[in-house]
């Protein structure tokens, strides 16, 4: 294994980067407003040995609930600001790290520059001794970077991350790390390699976003981590799996198992055509998930699409409107959940909204149509 060359940063009492052990983290999937459920989720992740636990915050009420949640745990907490970056000064005193997504800064307060918005977050972090993660995500890349690199989505992500690092450097803020996530393991590998080449000093958090359900989700993640960690890239990891809330501890145990295997040179071979067949990507769910039926829906989509396993198709199942619309754009069929209906898309085109009772039949029909248009026939074992 190549040694890691990143600088050390501090997240509460934890150090990451340099020769620090690779930290394993996860995220609560409960509504942050549901304090007992979120506290229980934190307990499950603590029992599983999480080094960092991330919580999503969308509004002032979430911040109020976070105050109570914070009192009940000594864990290192990270907060996900997503679109509401103005909450940074309110959450920073309660947590050890703030994650912001550069792609989400674009939409809010268009009269302000991105740099001004970043400075606002940096000031909140600095005043409260918080670390920052610049979290770039394939499904929500800043539109300016998408326009600059229309044929290279990886470079759009990497350049955006590098520019944000430059902002923080210019502001004299060093306590930060970066993540570059995609649902395609090969893109995660390439993006992190390119970034690490350009900024070998910046600690990296690794993850394959929307990896989906075990076992496929674990295999996709393992592919990326094996390549990166063995090359000395990666200071923290998260295995994003679509699992019922009570089983979320698996994200930690699986992460540790993968790291242990890499450490001992145990690399699992992956069949050559692993990603050339049906690929179901699904978000791991979080407090923004719009309907409790999400995990069951993702499992049902996998069940009803089994008949088409030999076809190279991607189906994306996302839990909410925050990331769902963007992160289903590249899928052959994309589903993103609303509170009472599920939106079904083919690539960026909306096919319609359907109730949770109607959606599976509709998915099946659309799969049949796409397979017959693209491959000329329906699978023989169609049910
Ligand atoms: S798609 Fe929505 S519900 Fe799923 S993990 Fe992302 S933000 Fe959470």
C-beta of residue 245 within 8 angstroms of C-beta of residue 41: yes
By three-state DSSP, how is residue 147 classified? helix
Q: Provide the H-helix boundaries in the chain.
A: 35-47, 60-71, 88-91, 102-105, 114-127, 143-148, 153-170, 185-198, 216-229, 250-263, 294-304, 324-327, 359-375
Mean pLDDT of 107-129: 95
The preferred substitution site among 288, 337, 338 for testing ligand 1, maximizing ligand atoms within 8 Å of CB, is: 288
Residues 60-82: pLDDT tens digits? Answer: 999 999 999 999 999 999 999 87
Average pLDDT over every residue of 31-43: 96
CB neighbours of 232 closer than 8 A, spacing ≥ 6? 1, 2, 3, 4, 5
Atom of ligand 1 minimally distant from the CA of 294: 3
Residue 383 has pLDDT above 50, yes or no: no
Contact (Cβ atoms closer than 8 angstroms) between residue 98 and residue 92: yes
What domains does the chain contain, in order, with CATH numbers?
9-263 (3.20.20.20), 289-375 (3.30.413.10)
Taking the C-alpha atoms of residue 136 and residue 326, their distance in angstroms, rounded to an integer, is: 13
Of residues 39 and 274, the one with the higher pLDDT is 39
Q: Tell which one of 207, 323, 339, 343 to mutate to probe ligand 1, the residue whose CB is within 8 A of the most ligand atoms.
A: 323
Model pLDDT for residues 296-332, shown as the tens digit of each residue:
999 999 999 999 999 999 999 999 988 889 889 989 9
Give residue 342 CA to ligand 1 midpoint distance, Å: 14
Protein residues with CB under 6 Å of any ligand 1 atom? 283-286, 288-289, 318-320, 322-324
Closest CA to 32 of 74, 69, 75, 83: 69
Pocket probe for ligand 1: among 208, 283, 290, 292, the residue whose CB has the most ligand atoms within 8 Å is 283
DSSP notation for 206-227 = E-BTTB-STTHHHHHHHHHHHH
- pLDDT attached to residue 280: 93
Cα distance between residue 97 and residue 331, in whole Å: 32
DSSP secondary structure string for all residues of 301-358: HHHHTGGGTTS--EEEEES-TTTHHHHTTTSSEEEEE-SSEEEEEETTEEEEEEETTT
Residue 105 has pLDDT above 70, yes or no: yes
To the nearest 10 degrees (0 to 180), the angle between helices 185-198 and 153-170 is 40
Q: Which atom of ligand 1 is nearest to the CA of 336?
A: 1
What is the whole-number distance in angstroms between the Cα of residue 171 and the centre of ligand 1?
A: 31
pLDDT, tens digit, for every residue of 5-27?
A: 899 999 999 999 999 999 999 99
Minimum mean pLDDT range among 188-202, 220-234, 277-291: 277-291
Q: What is the pLDDT of residue 2?
A: 80
- Is pLDDT of 224 > 90? yes
Nearest atom, ligand 1, residue 318 CA: 1
Does the pLDDT value for residue 180 go beyond 80?
yes
344-372 pLDDT, tens digit each: 999 999 999 999 999 999 999 999 999 99
């Amino acid at each position: 294994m190549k040694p890691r060359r990143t600088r050390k940063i501090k997240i509460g009492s934890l150090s990451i980067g340099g020769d620090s052990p690779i930290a394993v983290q996860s995220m609560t999937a409960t509504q942050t407003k549901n304090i007992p459920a979120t506290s229980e989720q934190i307990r499950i992740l603590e029992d599983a040995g999480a080094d960092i636990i991330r919580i999503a915050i969308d509004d002032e009420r979430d911040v109020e609930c976070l105050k109570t949640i914070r009192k009940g745990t000594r864990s290192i907490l990270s907060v996900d600001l997503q679109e509401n970056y103005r909450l940074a000064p309110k959450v920073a005193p309660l947590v050890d790290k703030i994650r912001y997504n550069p792609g989400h800064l674009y939409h809010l307060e268009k009269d302000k520059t991105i740099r001004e918005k970043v400075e606002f977050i940096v000031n909140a972090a600095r005043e409260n001794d918080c670390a920052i993660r610049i979290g770039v995500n394939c499904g929500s890349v800043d539109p300016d970077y998408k326009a600059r690199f229309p044929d290279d989505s990886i470079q759009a992500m990497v350049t955006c991350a590098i520019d944000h690092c430059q902002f923080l450097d210019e502001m004299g803020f060093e306590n930060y790390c970066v993540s570059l996530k995609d649902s395609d393991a090969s893109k995660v590998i390439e993006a992190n390699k390119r970034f690490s080449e350009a900024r070998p000093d910046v600690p990296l958090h690794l993850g394959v976003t929307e990896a989906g359900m075990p076992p496929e989700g674990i295999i996709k993640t393992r592919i990326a981590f094996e390549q990166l960690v063995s090359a000395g890239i990666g200071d923290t990891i998260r295995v994003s799996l679509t699992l019922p809330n009570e089983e979320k501890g698996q994200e930690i145990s699986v992460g540790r198992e993968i790291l242990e295997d890499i450490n001992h040179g145990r690399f699992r071979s992956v069949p050559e055509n692993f990603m050339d067949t049906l690929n179901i990507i699904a978000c791991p769910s979080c407090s923004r998930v719009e309907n409790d039926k999400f995990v069951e829906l993702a499992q049902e989509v996998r069940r009803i699409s089994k008949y088409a396993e030999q076809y190279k198709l991607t189906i994306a199942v996302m839990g909410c409107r925050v990331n769902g619309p963007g992160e289903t754009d590249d899928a052959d069929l994309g589903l993103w959940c609303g509170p009472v209906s599920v939106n079904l898309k083919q690539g960026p085109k909306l096919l319609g909204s359907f109730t949770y009772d109607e959606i599976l039949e509709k998915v099946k029909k659309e799969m049949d149509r796409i397979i017959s248009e693209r491959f000329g026939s329906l699978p023989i074992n169609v049910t």
